[in-house]
Amino acid sequence: MDELKVLVSRQQIARRVREMAEQITADAKGEPMIFVGVLKGAAIFLSDLVRQVEVDATFEFLAVSSYGNRPTPTPELGRAWDSTGEVRLTKDVDQSLRGRNVILVEDILDTGLTLTFLRRLLLGHEPRSLRVAVLLDKPSRRKMPVEVDYIGFSIPDEFVVGYGLDFAERYRNLPDVCVLPATAWTDGS
Ligand code: IMP
Ligand code: MG
């Protein structure tokens, strides 16, 4: 596999995930929590996070896709690769979230469209509390404001892969968060 530039190293990730877990533990005040991960990108982050929170935890996964989805950059789309905003649930959670303390766990907050949709969806379950944890945030690309409780790292407007994040399903297993050079998805013009 080609060498990619590391943006956030595995050591930085490990340290920050531990800090986030400590904060989540403190905020949970001894109450049980359900961690809801967004497939597939958040799977690795969730699995590292839940093993370090000291609360009575269960976890769930849901999955979404976008209509008119342009989930990854292509030469034709260039930097206009993001989704059109109509998000659709493709896998729901398996247990009721009603009256429960929920933490939504997502890999990256970009335009904010996905998390806006998911927050609204989960609030419809009438949880006791809803918090949101994201590993990465690209604030410069936001189209909708989103309330997020825990952010791992704010990063510049680069397409990143690794630690769960993909480009056309590849690179999810890289241990570091790396920058995918624009040459990988544009014709270079
Ligand atoms: P949003 O709805 O624009 O906030 O997009 C969030 C989703 O877009 C994430 O869950 C990712 O699946 C995807 N995404 C956004 N930026 C990147 C990136 O740099 N690398 C890989 N996936 C990304
Ligand atoms: Mg995702």
Q: Report d(CA 184, CA 122) in Å as an integer.
A: 36
Query: According to the model, what pLDDT value does residue 184 have?
Result: 80
| pLDDT score at 182 | 82
10-158 under CATH 3.40.190.290, yes or no: no
Measure the CA–CA gap between 87 and 92, rounded to whole angstroms: 13
Q: Is 117 in the pocket of ligand 1 (CB under 6 A)?
A: no
**Tens digit of pLDDT for each residue in 114-142?**
999 999 999 999 999 999 999 999 999 99
Distance 65 CA to ligand 2 centre (A): 9
For the chain, the domains span 10-158
User: Which residue's alpha carbon is at the smallest distance from atom 5 of ligand 1?
Assistant: 110
Ligand with minimal distance to 66 CA: 1
Residues in the chain, pLDDT under 70: 1-2, 67-85, 186-189
Contact 87 CB / ligand 1 (< 6 Å): no
To test ligand 1's pocket by mutation, which of 110, 114, 155 has the most ligand atoms within 8 angstroms of CB? 110
Give first-to-last CA distance, the chain, whole Å. 24
The predicted structure's pLDDT at residue 189: 46
Confidence (pLDDT) at 73: 67
Cβ of 160 below 6 Å from ligand 1 = yes
CA distances for 83 relative to 18, 113, 143, 157, angstroms: 32, 8, 11, 16
- Please tell me the residue having the least CA distance from ligand 1 atom 3: 111
d(CA 78, CA 89): 26
* Order of strands, sheet of 177-179, starting from the edge strand that comes earlier in the sequence: 5-8, 177-179, 160-161
